[in-house]
Amino acid sequence: MFFFDINYLLMVLLPGLLISGGASLLVKSAFNKYSQVGSIKGYTGAQAAQILLDRAGIRDVQVVPTRGILSDHYNPASKQLALSESVYASRSVAAIGVACHEAGHAIQHANHYVPLHLRSALVPMAGIGSSIGYTVMFVGAMMQFTPVVMVGALLFAAVLLFQIVTLPVEFDATARAKRLVVEAGIVYPEERVGIDRVLNAAALTYVAAVIGTLLTLLYFLMRSGLLGRRN
């Protein structure tokens, strides 16, 4: 029966849980470790982000606190750089790294970084694919009706495309943060070790998301005979 398909367990569920769970644990471990390491110059996450914005000549982006754990983000529409409570007022190396990463997104926006604008354009389509794509594929597979699976796969592929485009956006913001945090004099070069580990771990979560979505899509395509031979 489809409900108890061992292939789904082995191909999608277990690998997805291991990869995403492992990436999440790495982020939490790195952040928790370096959130206990104070920066020598003593800048807060909010101050660090503001320094990079000022240095880039960006005057219309507001750095604001937001609720949640590691809920930090930059909103291009409102031009708000929101930092979580554990980052905004913290003087730790981890907080500075996260804050400068988000400032990197604001700099991307100001510099018209193409992948960032492409990702923003894909948000509506990815939202639709995320909300109904999986369900449509599942129903189509249950009915053994290939056209329905194809529709669901196309919708779900929009999610995969969004996640793939997100990779260069996040990697670039991370690279900017690593470079600028020292160039701007926010931390000393030797403090970058902690920042690198936190941001590298965070980057892996985006890679994990792509792998998880890809495995799910491939499973349904193979299950329905659209890819490879049907069992």
| 190 in a structural domain | yes
Compute the chain's Rg from CA coordinates.
20
Number of domains in the chain: 1
CA distance 85 to 68: 7
The pLDDT tens digits of the residues spanning 22-47 come to: 999 999 999 999 999 999 999 999 99
The pLDDT tens digits of the residues spanning 173-211 come to: 999 999 999 999 999 999 999 999 999 999 999 999 999
Domain that holds residue 185: 2-223
| 228 in a structural domain | no
| 161 in a structural domain | yes
pLDDT greater than 50 at residue 231? no
| 229 in a structural domain | no
| 89 in a structural domain | yes
User: Which pLDDT score is estimated for 95?
Assistant: 98
Report whether 129 contacts 66 (CB < 8 A): no
C-alpha 30, offset from chain centre? 16
Q: Give the catalytic positions in this structure.
A: 102
| 231 in a structural domain | no
pLDDT greater than 70 at residue 60? yes
Could you tell me the pTM of the whole model? 0.90
Give residue 74's pLDDT band: very low, low, confident or very high (50, 70, 90). Answer: very high
Which position has the higher pLDDT, 13 or 166?
A: 166
**63 has which bridge partners?**
81
The pLDDT tens digits of the residues spanning 104-150 come to: 999 999 999 999 999 999 999 999 999 999 999 999 988 989 999 99
The pLDDT tens digits of the residues spanning 4-22 come to: 678 888 888 889 889 999 9
| 21 in a structural domain | yes
Dump the DSSP string for 166-209: HHHHHHHHHHHHHHHHHHTTSS-GGGHHHHHHHHHHHHHHHHHH
User: Which pLDDT score is estimated for 22?
Assistant: 94
Query: Strand 73-75 relative to strand 62-66: parallel, antiparallel, unpaired?
Result: unpaired
| 214 in a structural domain | yes
